[in-house]
Chains A and B, each alone.
Chain A
Amino acid sequence: MILLRCLKLYSTLARFSLSRTLNFWADSVLRVVMDVLFYIVSLSFFSVIYLHADNIGGFTRADAMVFVGCFTLIDALFMTFFSVNLWGMSAAINQGQLDYILTKPIPPFFLTLFQRIEFGSLINALMSASILAWALTIHPQPASWLGILLGLSMLPLAVWLYFMIGVAFVLPVFWTHSPGGFLRTFYSVEPLMERPDGIYRKGFGWVFFTLLPFAILASFPARAMVGKLASGDFFYYIFVLIAFTFVVARIWARGLRIYSSASS
């Protein structure tokens, strides 16, 4: 019943978001241009690096292009469905806007995290999907269709995991009351996702496979698509996803208990 109500509400919120996107179309155009630049920079970066090496962290040049397709697609989907909600979350907690959400007959976690969709970024998702398709086409030895399907099915999971990590960085705002929680830190750590996981397998790199699993976000789906994913890695991916969702939900519940409503 609650799920049905949530879905109905989500479709209404999506309509509002679409109307907002159409009203602020210039902002959406700029977002598209910004992401195009991001794709150019990412592809150029790996092109420059691979002038000096054939294999980095287990990824050949062709693998790296698939990897770029994966992390740009994850980023574009994240920008579409979650990024704006993540930015607004700390303000909602700090400035008391959460009061309004708490009075609604809908789970506050859902309403806080799914309020807006940036439809403009869907264009970027299409472009990054094209990069991924191009990279798979030019790859000399891509995985079987099953491997590619496995990799593709991991991408939505990666978007959710990415979002949950982001939320985990914002939630301390319940206790610190700082303007943005540790969101700035999140965006500084997040570029770790844009490098192959093989480079983090030494020293304290294990942190980026477990506590801050940025290393696995795009690398594991890319590995699946080029036939380099170890058998247990997929299950590990699912385990990390569930664990993160569970921990974030617990922290949210604890945060709500001490929420003191800044506006009243």
Chain B
Amino acid sequence: MKALLAMYVNEIKRTLTYRVEFWIGSILQALIFLYSAVALWSAVFTSTDSAQSIGGLSLSQMTAYYALAACLYYVIYPGEMGFMSEEIYQGQLNRYLVYPIPYLRLKLSVYLAQATLFFGQSIVIGLILQFGFAIPLISSWSHLAMGLTAVMLACAIAFHIVAVLQMSAFWLDQAWSVMVMFYMTLNFLGGRVVPLTIFPNWLRSSLEWLPFSSVMSFPVQAFRGGLSHDAFVFEVIKGFFWLLFFIWLSRSVFERGLRRYGGVGI
């Protein structure tokens, strides 16, 4: 536990070494994503003069949705997981194998350090949007509690999905293209680029069962109060199912991968 804590603290220090990149990069990305989405939906609402809402969301609700998606995206996907495939590919995994701590747990502590920093940053961005730009992100304490639960579950699922994909480096020369495919799918089918309510009904009912909605649409909807009590409980149960599945999958893939790992540099 002490070692994991040390890894966690080290990772926070490492990230904060490049403060300018950390702050400018993330805040700019969040604001540009939000600007682009709001510009697009403003144009859509302008085009359909009579529409008060699209997919059950008015323009201001749509703005709040995208603002939350912008804030939460980097908490759930901090972007430092890429090193796992690099470590496998370049043989740096060797040193971790002799550590007395399981590799996946070490990586989890690194991921949590990143997620913590980005969560702190999201609070700052969220406060600016809520009070500076009057975008109503969270309306009650119960929504805040539901949102925090959802985000923790989403982080746990996301870590294990990304770990499985990164470990494809045991078999492939590079895993980055697999990651890009995953992010494209997540963004589109998970509800980051388009809220799931915008999709036609027949497609939406299928998308809601996939893990992508548990890691993006669910936390956003929970924070903005878009879920009834029953829907929230259902999402939590579904999320736990996916979490257990991906924990099992990540461990199996790691064990299988190790069997064919060549250990470059040994």
Contact = CB atoms under 8 A, between A and B. Distances in A.
A56 B47 contact: yes
B172 to A, nearest CB: 6
B29 A30 contact: no
A37 B185 CA distance: 8
A34 B29 contact: no
Contacts of A38: 184
Contacts of A189: 28-29, 32
Contacts of B92: none
A31 interface: yes
Contacts of B184: 34, 37-38, 41
B255 interface: no
A189 B29 CA distance: 7
B36 interface: yes
A176 interface: yes
Interface stretch (B2-10, B136-144, B193-201): B193-201
Contacts of B177: 27, 30-31, 33-34
Contacts of A195: 36, 39-40
Interface stretch (A45-53, A160-168, A251-259): A45-53
B18 interface: yes
B47 A53 contact: yes
B32 A188 contact: yes
A48 B20 contact: no
A54 B47 contact: yes
Interface in A73-117: none
Interface string B32-72: 11001001101110011001001100000000000000000
A128 to B, nearest CB: 15
Binding site secondary structure of chain B: helix
B145 interface: no
Interface in A147-175: none
Interface residues of B, number: 37
Given A33-B177, A41-B188, A205 B25 contact: no
A57 B46 CA distance: 9
A179 B39 contact: no
Contact of B29 (A26, A27, A54, A185): A185
B123 interface: no
B39 A202 contact: yes
Contact of A37 (B40, B42, B181, B200): B181
B262 interface: no
Contacts of A191: 33, 36
B1 interface: no
Residue from A30, A56, A200 having most chain B Cβ neighbours under 10 A: A30
B173 A27 contact: yes
A182 B48 contact: no
B188 A45 contact: yes
Given A53-B47, A189-B32, A48 B172 contact: no
B266 interface: no
Nearest to B21: A178
Contacts of A44: 188
Contacts of B42: 199, 202
Contact of A184 (B20, B25, B43, B185): B25
Residue from A31, A49, A198 having most chain B Cβ neighbours under 10 A: A49
A192 interface: yes
Interface string B15-30: 0001011001100110
B188 A199 contact: no
A49 B44 contact: yes
B54 A199 contact: no
A56 B199 contact: no
A199 B194 contact: no
A246 interface: no
Contacts of B54: 52
Given A52-B48, A178-B18, A198 B43 contact: yes
A96 B243 CA distance: 43
A54 B188 CA distance: 21
B73 to A, nearest CB: 10
Nearest to A212: B32
A110 to B, nearest CB: 26
A26 B24 contact: no
A102 to B, nearest CB: 26
12 contacts: A27-B174, A27-B177, A31-B177, A33-B177, A34-B177, A52-B48, A54-B47, A55-B47, A56-B40, A178-B21, A185-B25, A199-B39
